[in-house]
Amino acid sequence: MAEPDSIRIRPVRTDDLDALLVLAEGTGPGFTNLPSDRGVLRERIERSDALLAGEKLGGAIILGLELNGRIRGCGMVFPRIGVDWPFYSYRISYTTQRSSIDGRMVRFPVLTLTNDLEDCAEVGGLIVDPTLRRGGYGRLIARSRYLFIGCHRANFGQRVIADLRGWLDRGESPFWDAVGGRFYAMSFAEADHINGTTGNQFIADLGPRAPIYVNMLSHEAQRAIGRVHDDGRGAHALLVEEGFRDDGYVDIFDAGPTMIAMIDDLKAIRNLHHAMFAGTADDDALRDHLIAHGSGAGFCCVPGSIEAAGAQAVTDPASARLLGLSDGDRIGYLAI
């Protein structure tokens, strides 16, 4: 990991556009939160700025991992989904039927298109420069999203979801080929681009209304339902550790799992503390906490050391300097 005084997580700005585009170009298909389109990314940054200013809009607040002055990763927080257009998921349920002739019973899964998850918050868009993936940076970004939510708790509802990228076979989605591709007359890559740049209203316009019987799908498509993309296994593990659960919802494009949690039950929210800054201590302590200061566009958090006593806390000098702390400032902190 880089030197402690070179690491910050903060909302992205328009001058981070080039760095975000580099990240987006390395994500591959199926990652709709950060499309590799300069114009769309600029609009996403502007929308993030508006949300940070308090506007009630759809879209995401984008937090960037800054190393040595350059954005090398990001994570997103959607205060409320289903604002600009409906948020669709497939819900997995089961149907049991019994023959009146011989008593035989069969039980099979069914996919139903639903808007059950509207009004939830969402965490997503977790991307780390591939050269940094073994440095613990993904965990930093993941926890920073919950720290942001906790420091702005009144702006969020009761539930939060995480929509994980589904499994792909050499860049193609077996689930899309078996379901979406038959209704929308477009490839997975085309649908992925439309969803990432203009939203998924075409799902409502063209998609199947009747439940989908999973047994009618190809074996490959069935295996893909609820299966995480190979690059998403680490993110899935972090979500489970945080308190998310699989509640039977999957993505409408690639059938990746949608994880759900109650915000106040998240490990990070339960372990979040607040204190008044009371100065700095020796710089030798282990930097095992995320320390945050500021709100909205002024929010920033850094990995650092902290020692609390009652309602006051002292930090390492580097953290205090990066956060611009003065005696009496309110800070939030949680263990990494």
Q: What is the CATH number of the domain that holds 290?
A: 2.40.40.20
Q: Are residues 170 and 303 in the same domain?
A: no
Residue matched to tokens 């979406």: 180
Asked if residue 124 is part of any domain, the answer here is yes
Asked if residue 292 is part of any domain, the answer here is yes
Sign of the Cα pseudo-torsion (133, 139, 145, 151, in order): negative
Nearest-5° Cα angle at 333, 329 to 336:
150
Residue 29's pLDDT is 65
Asked if residue 146 is part of any domain, the answer here is yes
Residue 103's pLDDT is 79
Asked if residue 171 is part of any domain, the answer here is yes
Q: Are residues 130 and 208 in the same domain?
A: yes
Q: Are residues 207 and 312 in the same domain?
A: no
Asked if residue 256 is part of any domain, the answer here is yes
Q: Are residues 242 and 196 in the same domain?
A: yes
Residue 310 confidence class, pLDDT cut points 50, 70, 90? confident
Q: Are residues 162 and 311 in the same domain?
A: no
Distance CA 50, CA 63 (A): 14
Q: b/e map of 67-101 (b: 16 or more CB within 10 Å)?
A: beeebbbbbbbbbbbbeeeebbbbbbeeeeeeeee
Nearest-5° Cα angle at 305, 289 to 66:
65
Q: Given 247, 268, 289, which residue is the final one in a domain?
A: 268
Q: Are residues 80 and 187 in the same domain?
A: yes
46-89 pLDDT, tens digit per residue, is 999 999 999 988 899 999 999 989 999 999 999 999 887 788 89
Burial category of 285 from C-beta neighbours within 10 Å (exposed 0-12, middle 13-18, buried 19 and up): middle
Q: Are residues 197 and 327 in the same domain?
A: no
Distance CA 195, CA 10 (A): 26
Q: Given 220, 245, 268, which residue is the final one in a domain?
A: 268
Q: Are residues 246 and 314 in the same domain?
A: no
253-296 pLDDT, tens digit per residue, is 899 999 999 999 999 999 999 999 999 987 666 789 999 999 99
Within the chain, strands assigned E span 7-11, 61-67, 70-78, 89-98, 105-114, 121-128, 159-163, 212-213, 245-250, 257-262, 273-280, 289-293, 300-304, 306-309, 312-315, 330-335
* Domain boundaries, position 148: 76-91+114-268
Distance CA 155, CA 120 (A): 12
Q: Are residues 264 and 120 in the same domain?
A: yes
Q: Are residues 293 and 307 in the same domain?
A: yes
Q: Given 219, 248, 268, which residue is the final one in a domain?
A: 268
Residue 199's pLDDT is 67
Asked if residue 213 is part of any domain, the answer here is yes
Residue 230's pLDDT is 87
Domain count, the chain: 2
Distance CA 334, CA 269 (A): 9
Asked if residue 106 is part of any domain, the answer here is no
**Is pLDDT at 197 greater than 90 in this prediction?**
no
Residue 249 confidence class, pLDDT cut points 50, 70, 90? very high
What size, in residues, is the chain? 336
**Is pLDDT at 30 greater than 70 in this prediction?**
no
Sign of the Cα pseudo-torsion (328, 332, 335, 336, in order): negative
Per-residue pLDDT averaged across 173-196, rounded?
83
Q: Are residues 156 and 280 in the same domain?
A: no
Asked if residue 104 is part of any domain, the answer here is no
Residues labelled catalytic: 229
- The pTM for the full model equals 0.90
105-118 pLDDT, tens digit per residue, is 889 999 999 999 99
Q: What's the whole-number average pLDDT of the chain? A: 90
Q: Are residues 314 and 220 in the same domain?
A: no
Residue 35's pLDDT is 85
Backbone angles phi, psi at 114, to 5 degrees: -145, 160
